[in-house]
Structures are given as structure tokens and as C-alpha cells.
Chains A and B, each alone.
Chain A
Amino acid sequence: MGNEAIARGIIEAGCTLAASYPGTPASEILPAVAAFAQETGVSIHAEWSVNEKVAYETALANSMAGRRSAVSMKQVGLNVASDPFLRSAYLGVKGGFMIISADDPGPHSSQTEQDSRFFAMFAKVPVLDPSSPREAKDMVGKAFELSEKYELPVMLRPTTRVCHARQTVALSPPEILDRPARFEKNPGRWCATPQYVRELHRQLNDKIARIAMEPDFAPVFTPGDGSFPGVGIIASGVVFAHAWDLLEDLGLGGRVDLYQVTMPYPLNRDFIRRLEAQYQRLLVLEETYPVMELQLKSDKVQGRLTQTIPGEGELTPEVVGRILEKFLGRAETPGAAPPGGGVRPTLCAGCGHRAAFYAIKEAFPGGIFPGDIGCYTLGMNLGAVDTCHCMGAGISQAAGFYHAYAAGGGEIPAIVAAIGDSTFFHAGVPALMNAVMHRARFIMVILDNATTAMTGLQPTPEAGVNAMGQPAQPLYLADLVRACGVKFLRECDPYDIPALMSLLQEAHRYCRTPEGGVAVVIARHPCMLDKKAYERQPVYEMCVTEDCTGCRHCLDEFECPALILNEGTEQVVIDGVRCVGCGVCSHVCPGGAIEARRRE
């Protein structure tokens, strides 16, 4: 897998610290770093940090001590780490420092389809754009060398299609760099106050200008046979790979001049001059923003700025195919159109989040439900998640909704924010402190499934285990909540819906008392994808009795994938394959028609 190829590159390059926070499509990088380190016997500190900013700063210090370091995240993670990212371009690094920011054109599993290469350009940091797992691995070593040559962070920007592509790659033994940690004090640089910053900025500009002349990072040219004089195609990232395959399909492989740009920023200066001198028509293919196009500043260029290419969405082969045909004057191949619809994702059968959402919704029918980022965003299907913004935002939004209604003078609805355990550690703590400090009144439910489920079950700080599988100091949600100044804290298993509903009512009463504030309920049930946790819980034989009236309450309000409507009898039946026997739906049927019997 592309992510594993990147991880292998990190180990082979002699990197000694890798830090990350899980996020699709980057999640598999760090576990693979840990696995390859163990397999090859190299010593590395690999950690799941509590968030991307912390990961970035931790890795940065290792670089300041002269050692190679890598930090990986999804593109919106770089937003979280943007503060240290921008500053580190000015101050520079010592040991090679690589940022992997994985973009998600489409998007498939993200809040935005932003282009990290644009962020690199903003920060004045060089960025490499691989078109395949194999290339991504090769670029890792080059990124470290470039970083050390110019003492500058270097970004590797894979996209979902590179991260999650699989390909065979050649392996080399890890490079062992004999570099004991040595931090050389230099206050003018490492503490740069404004008086030094201007000079550091000048040096940064100079570095970028020189990197734009680096022959090793110049675009790769595949010349055409002269069939299309004065015409050229420029592509970077996986779009280059799509374009290559499509040109082959069209019988145009090797007939039109094709450039693969491996470093979209800073764009090679000679390349820019050459394009201007030699071509009349140029097509620029890149995801997802016009990074190369803006640097080319030429009216010969067709791309996003000329609306030749859609301004949004993934450049799939279907989209690129049509663009190429049009640009090269070929008849359009009639393409099969993707139908709409499909099957939407849903919370797993037996998921504790579903039970918690059902209780929240039943307890507060007119409530406002700010949500957050994780599997539990799927609570929107149940009508129990009204907002989804960015990590930790649900808590601040709950406070903001409270202040809006309180200041407005009208009736204040029940406000219930739901946030996952890992998200709470990541960005929820400052939001909760702020809400408590400013006397907001709402209920915050921590959906604690004891893992980071959406991205593949990475351990949370509560787990007491690190990315290498070694013991770590556990941090407890309840301790943190209390430390944030919360005076009302209860815990329960959401499987017991009546108990959770009564706790929520108690929390609501607390919010409304004169001395009330933020009330926190920790709804704790392990993720059903954690097989060991599932094996520990009792399993029930579920059955629907003749009393089922087909009212659809369980289907519409609970939406368990194991509950299905028998169209013939118009009664609900249990899908024996998907049902995990959690027993929760027996609380849900208004007519008591779903029964649970303990399986022996």
C-alpha cells in the first residue's frame, strides 16, 4: 500500500522519530513505520500524538537535535499543525524533516478537498507530489536529502489514490546514520524575535529560489513524436498516472509531449522558461487547486483558471479522459455514466454510539445536537447530529448556541454535544475549558468506545499503550473533564438506554439550576470492531414477535443494519448474519415486539 511504501521509505532513510495523528487517508503510515522498525531492528520513536500540532512540534525538535524526523497526517490535520508549520519554514531545520500531508480529492472521507501543495506554497516549503506508491517511497529519501541540503522542511503530498493503491516496491536495508542527538543553541534562530525574522525570511526566499533550480527535482519529460507540434501536457500526482494510461488507451502514448512534475512548488524555473518558449498550447492537470497553473502565469495554459478543468471534485479517469479528448481534438468516447445512489454508510450493528444517539434524541426531541468528527458523525442519519465542523468544534459550538439563545432572550432549547473519546483528547479539552469558564450550560456526551474507530482502531491516550505496542502512561477522560472545571460528571453504558436517558434528564436539570454549567456524561461501550471487547459482552438471541405492527419506528429512529422490513408481511425481521446480539433494540420497540433472550 502507498502508505506502507512511504513508511518503508522513512525507515530506509534512517529517520529516528515519526509522529502522527490518525486520519484517512494517512492513517496506515505510522503503524507501518512501527512494524518495519521492529522487523528491521532499527531504533525509532514512533508515536500517535494527541493531535497534529503536537506531533509536528515533537518531530521538529528531533530534527533540531540533528536527527531525521517525519510527521504524517491528513490534509485537515495540517490545518491543526499550521502554526508550527509556517514558523518552521522561517527557522528551518537541522536533521532532515519531512511532512506527509495526505490530500483527499473528491473528497472521500474529509471535511474539505483542500490542496496541501497550496499550503506548502503559502508556507514557502518545497512539496513533492508522487503518482504511485513506488514513486512515493523513492521521494522519501530525496525529501530528506533536500531538507538537509537547505535546512528546510520538505512536504510529501500523496493523495488518497496513492495512499490506498497497492504495488510491489523494491526494498533496501535501512540506512544507519550515526547521529547522536545534539541540540546546538542559537537563540537568534530557534527563538527568532521579530528583529531576526526579516533576515530569516530573506534566507527562506533565497532557499526557495535555489531549490527552483535543482536539476534532480526538475519535471520528467516524455517527448511526443511530433504529431502534436507546439502542444504539451503537464501533470502531477496521480493525475499524471491517469493521463498516461488514458493516452495509451487512446493510442496517443508517446505521440504528444508529456511532462510529469514531481515538485509542483517551487516550480522549476528553467521549465517555466522552456514552456513559454516552445509551446503554443499547454494543458495542466493537477489536484485539487491550480498550484502549478498559478506559477506558470501564461495565457497558453488551459486548466482550472480557464475552466477547462472542473474547479472541484476528484480528477477521475472519466473526467481526465474527456478533457484529454477535447484538448487533443479527438472525438469524445461515449462513456458509461455512474448512476446516483448506492448504499450509504451507517453505524455498525451493536455500536454503542447508536444506543447513545437514540437516548439523546428520545430525551430531548426539540434539542440542538452539535456533533464532531468520527464514526459518530453518522449519527446525522439518526437525526442526532446537527453539525459536523472540525475536530473539537462541537463543544465550542454548543457553547456558542447557548450564548446565542441565552442572549436572545427566548426559550433555550436543550443543547447536547456529542464527541468521541479520541476527538476529545485531540481538540476537545481547550473547548471544554472555555465553555466552563464562560458559564455555558449544555450537556456534553463523550462517546467513549475506547479507541479511534473510524481510522482503524488506533489506541487513545486512555489505552495506556503506545504506537509501538509498549506501555504508556494512561490519561483518563474523567480526570480531564474534572480538571476542566466540570461539576457534573456521570458515566454509564449506553446499551442501557433507560439508564442513559435518566442520566441525561438529571444532567439537563443540573444545567438549568442557578449554579449549573456544563454537564458531562461519559457513555462508555467498546467498539464492536474490537473483537476482544465483543467476545467479552453477553450475546442475545433476538426475535421479533407477532406484535410487530410494521410501524417502522426501529427502522427509522434506530437504523440498525440488522433490522430489516419484510416487504411481504410488512413486519420487521432480524438479519441473523448482521445481528451481533447486543440486545439494545429490545428497548427501542414502542410495542415491545423485539425480544432478547440470553444465548447460552
Chain B
Amino acid sequence: MKQQIIISGLGGQGALTLTRLLAEAAAALGLEVITSETHGMAQRGGAVISMVKVGPFRGPLIPAGSADLGLFLTDKTLPAHRFYLKPGAAAFVSTAAPGDYFHVDGPGLAARLGLPAVAANLALLGYVAGRAGLFCGAEALEQVLRDKTPERFRDMNLQAFKAGLEVSSGQ
């Protein structure tokens, strides 16, 4: 099993949270995993990217044109980070705007549920989990969400995750 995933967004949108959850899910399944994150200056609203490499990799970075899957927390960073995807690899984008990618209106879902805007990231994760192609299933991710989320965010995160999951199963 080898899978390389990029997570792209603007600083503060919760890319680090998704990175961590995917890595925890891989570890829970007994898979080797290594991730890379953006910290520092770019976290102040700049474009950030995280990488998750599942399988027997040594390095934390994904070469351009090699990612199997892309999660974008906004369509704004698509131009900057899409080149990491393999030709034909799927981009999943949290946005209301349709385009040449799979999209789920994460901010809209969060707002309808009365959740803070940052919960859009989990709606996107739920959406991706509901579609085939991820190294793990929705149940594995949901379990990690239950186990690893601080209690005060747990319900909110699960709600957003399930809302995203429902969108994908409805499609």
C-alpha cells in the first residue's frame, strides 16, 4: 500500500488538523506514515500545504506530479498546488463553485449547521472519505475523530464530518 496525499489551504483553515487525522488513521491501521506541514510566516493567511505519505516512504515530501489525491480547503490555492497531483489524480475542493474537480460546499455546510467556518475542513474530509480512493474508509476516520479530537470540539467535528459524508453518498 502506497498513497501520497496533499492538503492545501490558507493558513488557519485547518490543514494541519486534516493532516494529523489522516496520519492517525494510517497509524491506527498499522500502516507506515510520514507527513510534512507548513509552519511559521505562511500560517498568517498565506497558502499552506501539508503532505501525507502512507506506505514505506522515508522522506516527508511528495515530488511534483506524484500525489494520488488532493484535498483543497479553498479553490484559491488550486493554481498554486495542483501541480503536485499526478496526471488524472482527483482534486477535492471545499468550495461552492463548481469546476474541473470534485467539490463540496464546506463553508456552506458549516454555516447551515451553525458551526464555525473552520469546521469546513472536516466537511471536506467527510466528503472525501465517502468517495472511493482513500487509503482508509470513513469508519476508520470517524474512529480517529472520536479518539483524537479534544472533547470541546468533538461533537462539532463529527457533525461536520458526517455532513460531508452525506453529500458524497447522495451523489
A residues with a Cβ closer than 8 A to B are 1, 24-25, 27, 108-109, 131-132, 161-162, 164-168, 238, 240-242, 244-246, 249, 316-318, 321, 335-339, 341-348, 375, 377-378, 454-456, 561, 577
Contact = CB atoms under 8 A, between A and B. Distances in A.
A109 B41 contact: yes
16 contacts: A25-B39, A108-B40, A109-B41, A132-B60, A164-B38, A165-B36, A165-B37, A165-B60, A167-B33, A317-B59, A317-B61, A317-B62, A339-B80, A341-B79, A343-B47, A345-B41
Given A337-B64, A338-B83, A164 B42 contact: no
A316 B84 CA distance: 12
Given A167-B34, A375-B44, A577 B117 contact: yes
Contact of B33 (A168, A241, A339): A168
A339 B63 contact: no
B46 interface: yes
B149 interface: no
A343 B80 contact: yes
A377 B44 CA distance: 12
Interface stretch (B19-27, B126-134, B135-143, B160-168): B19-27
Given A342-B46, A343-B46, A577-B117, A336 B39 contact: no
Contacts of A165: 34-37, 60
Nearest to A162: B60
Nearest to B65: A336
B63 to A, nearest CB: 4
Given A168-B27, A344-B46, A108 B38 contact: yes
B70 interface: no
Contacts of A378: 41, 44
Contacts of B34: 132, 165-167
B57 to A, nearest CB: 5
A159 to B, nearest CB: 11
Contacts of A346: 44-46
Contacts of B76: 343
A348 B64 contact: no
Interface in B47-106: 47, 57-66, 76-77, 79-80, 83-84
A166 B57 contact: no
A336 B60 contact: no
A196 B80 CA distance: 58
Nearest to A561: B45
A217 B130 CA distance: 48
A335 B64 contact: yes
Name which of B19, B23, B66, B107 has the most chain A CB atoms within 10 A of its CB: B66
Contacts of B117: 577
Name which of A166, A167, A168, A337 has the most chain B CB atoms within 10 A of its CB: A166
A37 B1 CA distance: 36
B58 A108 contact: no
A558 to B, nearest CB: 15
A160 B160 CA distance: 32
Interface residues of B, number: 40
B10 interface: yes
B59 A347 contact: no
A339 B38 contact: no
Given A165-B34, A165-B36, A341-B80, 5 more contacts: A316-B61, A317-B64, A318-B64, A378-B41, A378-B44
Contact of A161 (B19, B27, B61, B66): B61
B44 A348 contact: yes
B17 interface: no
Contacts of A238: 59-60
B40 A109 contact: yes
B63 A321 contact: yes
A455 B44 CA distance: 11
Nearest to A351: B44
A118 B69 CA distance: 39
Contacts of A577: 107, 117
A93 B39 CA distance: 34
B120 to A, nearest CB: 9
Nearest to A25: B39
Contacts of B27: 168
Nearest to B23: A166
A345 B65 contact: no
A119 B57 CA distance: 31
B44 A161 contact: no
A338 B64 contact: yes
B10 to A, nearest CB: 6
A510 to B, nearest CB: 34
Nearest to A577: B117
Contacts of B11: 345
Contacts of A246: 63
A27 B10 CA distance: 21
B60 A343 contact: no
A244 B59 contact: yes
A346 B43 CA distance: 9
A345 B44 contact: yes
